[in-house]
A and B are shown apart, each in its own frame.
Chain A
Amino acid sequence: MIYKVISKAEFKRFIDALVQNNSAFGPRLVDTDSRGESVYQFQPVSSVEEIAFDYTRTASSAKHFFLPFREELSQFHFHDDDWEQNVSYEANPVVLVGLRACDISALNILDDVLLNSHFPSACYLAKRKNTFVIGMDHLPLPDCFCKSLAHHTVSTGFNLFCSDIGEKYYLSINSSKAFTYLKEFQTEEPSHEDNCLLTERRKLISRSFQTEVDVTSLPSILDIEFDSPVWEKWGAKCLNCGTCAMVCPSCYCYSVEERFNIDLKGASRNRKLYSCNLVDFAVVAGGHNFRPKNGDRLKYRYYHQHRGFAENANQQICVGCNRCGRACLAGINPKDVINDLRMEKESCMICVSQSPART
């Protein structure tokens, strides 16, 4: 990592050069909701003017640039009594501007799942390699709880990260590509004062969190509370609409389907992001559903997000952006669900003197 500072005006020139010459996406204002709040999304941008640098958060995450909602995995071509399978790992270069620390953390988690595991996914890697990620810090919103999961800062997974230190940005340069581009622009070595400003900025961010979710020993609580009535309570509200998983930066469950092309001369194998909240997530041939109830499926999302996943024992997938909580029409959010579970736990400890025998 190399550190530099850059004036805000110069930084904009730099971003402008990047977005003008590449297919680029950045936060843009798309709507104003009925409460008067601005709604942002990562949208195509072709000049720096279009980027809302002061955005709060995008409604949907940047996950789909790496793990598209729908994607073709391979193609079959039929000919002469036989077929050929073609797989291509092609991705066009993309510049992504304005990702938050938690968004980048989520990418690092996706890396763990999709790259640093038994079977690395080449289509994901192709996109990851061809995406130039520029991160930007921000002051947390009232419902952000990434600090609880230690994702309010990030030290890998981006090409460039900018911290706002007032007149200037403090740049963490994490790739030679970024370094080379920046050579064309006027940057300076951080002065002692810049370093102090950065520390202040970090402290400010850290101090500003209003929401805290206690995730300590959550995996074991989740295990113990597997049959908790909390799941039924929240399950009764869940609409099974999959919204939470779609907007989440780190939910990655999917479905694979194969289809003949309409001319029947070929077929494609396609992946579609799915959600464990959807009714048929665990349905098998013959119609048996391993998770028939809303509560089961909802529990499962939390189980997966917070109980950790097999290969990275104890690493939680959730980064604490609360996108799911905001998007959920039924008002289900990680903070309330987890707090509920903990209450369950504590009240049990208070009212039952001896641990009940579990069967």
Chain B
Amino acid sequence: MHDMRFAIPRQDLNREAFASSIPEFNRRSDLMKTDMGYKCRITNVVNLTDQEKLFQLRIVDPQERRIFRFKPGQFLMLELPGYGDVPISISSASSNHEFLELCIRKAGHVTSALFRTEPGMHVAIRGPFGSSFPMDEMSGNNVLLVAGGLGIAPLRAPLFWINEHRDRFHDVHLLYGAKEPSQLLFSYQFDEWKTISHIRLHTIVEHADAEWKESTGMITELFRDISIDAKHTYAIVCGPPVMFKFVCSYLDRLGIPMNRMFVSLERRMHCGMGKCCRCMVGSTFTCIDGPVFDYWSVMNLKEAI
């Protein structure tokens, strides 16, 4: 007994229908891609070390390229079709609307597959996601950037920002540590940072080689060489959890308020949108409430460090 009167009509969802059924859709997500990625062309790949490469991407569609804007500290989900997607910090200048740069370490299966890609191939990105470093709030102060290993990747965006707005900041120090000299990333940019951006760069390695002329040891030892005006300093610390724990508690003892220190957390992620819950720390999502947190929040998050 088929009676069409009782058959529920199917409501298909196209973009418009979707937008109209969620009142705040336009405000929040119009410019964001969630399920579908922005297609990007890999325009250049630089081998930084045998473990890290710098990928330069360009969003293919001009209109999408115009729309895509991000703030220093944010990340995106980089997708290699067939392999999967991974969260990666954006490592280029937020003012650069032509290209995106991602500094990627070969860590697992998606990143390994990425290492086999070549310029000309296409990948997808979703985002940008997450919180950012409060560059405006920092203005008028000294800035202390501390990076350990790959931690330099999320620091490049604020570095670019500082360079573009150099007059708004007083002293800017970058303390950068790695295991070995060969693992220091972006050494080709060191001169530029020092001379053009007027950033005081201090590098340190755990294991020096014959040519190494800078300091040797753990990153905290670099603090001996600089004086910090705790009242007027903001700090951004990126690196492995052990490192930022050490550094932040040191800075805490120096008297820098916890809400003026920023760290970027890392957790497993599958969506970037606060849904999959893989990145939850306490009741906080690393992907939408973070990855950038002030140290006060991190201290208050159970199981963050």
Taking the closest CB of chain A, its distance from the CB of B24, in whole angstroms, is 8
Is A55 on the interface with B (CB-CB < 8 A)? no
* B14 contacts across to A, CB distance below 8 A: 89
* A285 contacts across to B, CB distance below 8 A: 107-108, 111
From B5, B276, B303, give the contact of A255 (CB < 8 A).
B276
Taking the closest CB of chain A, its distance from the CB of B54, in whole angstroms, is 19
Tally of B interface residues using CB under 8 Å: 59
Is the contact region of chain B dominated by helix, strand, or loop, or is it mixed?
loop
Is B266 on the interface with A (CB-CB < 8 A)? yes
Is A252 on the interface with B (CB-CB < 8 A)? yes
> Which of B155-163, B207-215, B255-263, B267-275 has 4 or more CB atoms under 8 Å from chain A?
B267-275
Which residue of the partner chain B has the closest CB to A117? B274
Query: What are the interface flags for A277-291 relative to B under an 8 Å C-beta threshold, 1 for contact and 0 otherwise?
Result: 000011111100011
> Does the CB pair A119–B275 fall under 8 Å?
yes
Which residue of the partner chain A has the closest CB to B271? A256
- With A118-B288, A130-B10, A303-B282 known as contacts, the answer to whether A125 contacts B277 (CB < 8 A) is no
> Does the CB pair A21–B122 fall under 8 Å?
no
> Does the CB pair A118–B3 fall under 8 Å?
no
* B37 contacts across to A, CB distance below 8 A: 85
Determine the distance from Cα of A255 to Cα of B288 in the docked complex, in whole angstroms.
17
> Does the CB pair B6–A310 fall under 8 Å?
no
Is A186 on the interface with B (CB-CB < 8 A)? no
Tally of A interface residues using CB under 8 Å: 73
> Does the CB pair B285–A254 fall under 8 Å?
no
| Segment 1-39 of A: residues with Cβ below 8 Å from B | 17-18, 20-22
> Which of A76-84, A98-106, A144-152 has 4 or more CB atoms under 8 Å from chain B?
A76-84
Determine the distance from Cα of A27 to Cα of B39 in the docked complex, in whole angstroms.
45
Is B278 on the interface with A (CB-CB < 8 A)? yes
Is B35 on the interface with A (CB-CB < 8 A)? yes
Is A120 on the interface with B (CB-CB < 8 A)? yes
Taking the closest CB of chain A, its distance from the CB of B23, in whole angstroms, is 9
Is B81 on the interface with A (CB-CB < 8 A)? yes
Query: What are the interface flags for B280-292 relative to A under an 8 Å C-beta threshold, 1 for contact and 0 otherwise?
Result: 1011110011000
Is B296 on the interface with A (CB-CB < 8 A)? no
Determine the distance from Cα of A132 to Cα of B11 in the docked complex, in whole angstroms.
12
17 contacts between A and B (CB under 8 A): A21-B7, A22-B7, A74-B36, A89-B14, A93-B7, A93-B8, A118-B274, A118-B288, A119-B32, A119-B34, A122-B18, A126-B11, A256-B84, A257-B84, A258-B79, A269-B85, A285-B107
5 closest Cβ pairs, A-B complex: A285-B107, A267-B82, A93-B8, A89-B13, A285-B108
